[in-house]
Amino acid sequence: MELSDFNIQELSEDVVLATYRIFNVPENQYSLRSSIWRYKDDKWKLVFHQGTKCI
């Protein structure tokens, strides 16, 4: 798999949105991914993730 177009957007002081594109080489298929992360107790924790296949 190949990752591209990685971007981080700060939503608040302790929450960020990460967006990126994944290319699955064996399947010749792209997907768009987004994850929301929260900083709590001195570490980042994933609180939401979505992946959407693109035609």
CATH number, domain 2-54: 3.10.450.50
CA distances from 30 to 15, 35, 40, 42, 54 (A): 26, 17, 32, 34, 5
Q: Domain extents for the chain?
A: 2-54
Q: What is the pLDDT of residue 32?
A: 97
Would you state the structure tokens that stand for residue 1, as one six-digit string?
Answer: 């798999």
User: Confidence class of residue 55 from pLDDT cuts 50, 70 and 90?
Assistant: confident
Q: Name the pTM for this structure.
A: 0.84
If one counts every other C-beta atom within 10 angstroms of the C-beta of residue 34, the result is 15
Q: Are 34 and 17 in contact (CB under 8 A)?
A: yes
Using left for φ > 0, alpha for ψ between -120 and 50, and beta otherwise, residue 27 falls in alpha
pLDDT in tens, 6-40: 999 999 999 999 999 999 999 999 999 999 999 99
